[in-house]
Structure 1
Amino acid sequence: MNLYNIIIVVEALVIILLIFYNFRLRNSNGEEYVKSLKEIINGNYSYKIKARSNVQSTYHNLTSMLLDWIKHILRALLYIENNIKRISTSCSKSGEKMDSIKRKIVELNDKAKSVHEKLLEAAGASQQISASESDMASTSEATLENMKKMEISVQQGKVNTEEALTILEQMSSTMMNIISEVEELVKVTDKAQELAHFVEDLSKNINLLSLNASIEAARAGENGRGFAVVANEVRRLAEESSNSAKNINEQMNEIKNKASIAMKSIEILSEMSSKSNDSAKYIKDYMNEMDEFINNIMSIFKDFNEKINEQAAATQQIASANESLSEFFGDLIKFVSSLEQDINEQSALENDNMNICDDLKVVSNESRVFMDKFEEILGNRLIEYCRQLANEINESIISNEYLKDFANKTGVTSFSITDDDGTVIYCNQTDNIGFRFPDDVNTQAGEFRKILKDPSLEIIQKFTMRNIDGKFYKYVGLARKDKKGIIQAGLSLDDITKLNR
């Protein structure tokens, strides 16, 4: 049994009690009570029962109470239905968002794990790089020490080369002096040879003179015997002088040959000394270049060593940062896993909310049976009022005051009449005058523009919350009979209790 039937049963019981109460007074009132019950069932809460004043008062109070009861129940059901839709939509969207968040959390977790693994690899690589840089720094320092030793050796080599160059220059100078002396010796030997030739020639002449003297001494006989001895001695001396001159000449030639050989050797030695001097100069220049090169290399190695140390420090910082990041991402993975668990729990709660909404929808749909029945009665009642206005427009002049009186008489919240463009020209609520029904027929107000195209339409809407003020209104409408236009009736949920006027 739905809520509407319960209300009708309650009304029927009240009417039956009234019938039994008044049956003894007037049997004909029973039919009037039955009729009043039918009027209530048909939604005519403004029906005036023909009975005693106390019965009329009770009847009026009963209908007022029932209307107030229906109003509150209907409002509650409408709010429940509206909020169920909102909650259901919100839960649906929340579920979609949760699924999206869950996917993103899973993706974030996967990326965090990937980054964490890469950070661990980077930390290992940083440690290897740090070890390599430490080895490089040690090698660089050892190389720098070796370069320093090499520089010392080069410096010593430069000193030795300069000393050798000095010695070679001295040797070259000495050789030049020796060459001069040897040349002088050759000159002396030449003079000695000339003297030896002179002695040899002189000896030949003396030998010839001694021969002539011997011949003259022989001619002289005894007187020339002494002279002959002298002549023989002179000849012997001449021969010895000649032989000595020949020996001297031979010795001078030998000395000259030796001097010539020595001269050539000294010239060769001098040439070699000159080349050695050039080589020594080249070696000296090379040593200078080597010294400059080593200095440059040492400077580079110093910078390189400093850079390696700086790089090693930076690598240590990077390794430390990697460790911190790795620890952070490890914590992040734990946090994301915890967050994922919370989201799963929240998603489960959202599913529970959706299930609750589904259960509430079932309750709402069951309650909708009462609402639809009551709304059907109200809709038919409002349409009937609109038909009355459509007929009266042909017979009398409609005005805003007339509509106000008609609204007060029927208990309906508002009546509006439009021109052929759908603009309100008459209304008991003067603020609505000038309102034009929108062209979008999918809106609550725009739906009534269909009547302008098809005058046979009668539109009955259900109670719907208005966006302008959040109140529930039920609107119905049909076409004017006198000309093109719309007649609309609107009932606020708050004004339901006025329907029994």
Structure 2
Amino acid sequence: MIDLRKFIDLDALQKIQDQFSEATGLAAIAVDGEGKYLTKGSNFTDFCMKHTRKNEEGAKRCQKCDAEGSGTYYCHAGLMDFSTDIIVHGEKAGAIIGGQVLPGVPDESKFRDIARELGIPENDYLAALKKVPVRSESMIRASAEMLGNVVNQLVNLEYMKTVTQKRNDILDVEIEHIQKSLDEVTEKTRDLQKVASMENILSINASIEAARAGEAGVGFAVVAREFGEISKNSGGVYQRIHELVGSINTSVSKLTGTI
């Protein structure tokens, strides 16, 4: 499961959430994939938090709505709530939830009935109800969708920044390993070039000695020539390796400069 706390700027998320609630009157809070709070609640109403949710039966009904609610929906108490998934890399990593607003002027008689069902003092319940913001249903739906889009964009941007940085860090380490390996290959190739040069000198000396030996050195002269050819070919191969290493070094340097 993707842990939002590992990459998201929670202060920035809190600020966006607070500004949203201040502008729209809707309550809001962000939770992770396990339902644990990421932010502090913004614009939560006493009607929900101090009365309905603190009542045992009311809390059960609210929890049922929280678990089953999706998008923008009516809660059991007649208010409108919303829940928008936070999707990161195709995986649900949390949600932004809230609402706690009325889509129109409330019918007090219905809320008196709810208060009696829950065992909450009717007058206290209605007094808290009068403080609940009233917004049109279209405004509530549009606001919830907007917040969901903004939060998802913020979270995914932060996620990509984190992933990119991790990849760059890994790339830096691997480039360093490649550079060390290339340096070692260069050093070994130089050693082999020295060996090839010595082999060539030995071949020349052997040819001279074979010539001095006359007919007796004919066979040895053939071996000396073959030895000389091998040393020349080896020298060419080592030179090509050296050139390729130089080319790779150039590419690595260019790659490092673009990170």
Give the TM-score normalised by the residue count of structure 2: 0.45
Larger radius of gyration, structure 1 or 2? 1
Relative contact order higher in (CA < 8 Å, ≥ 6 apart): 1
Q: Report which of the two has the higher share of helix.
A: 1
TM-score, normalization by structure 1: 0.24
More strand per residue? 2
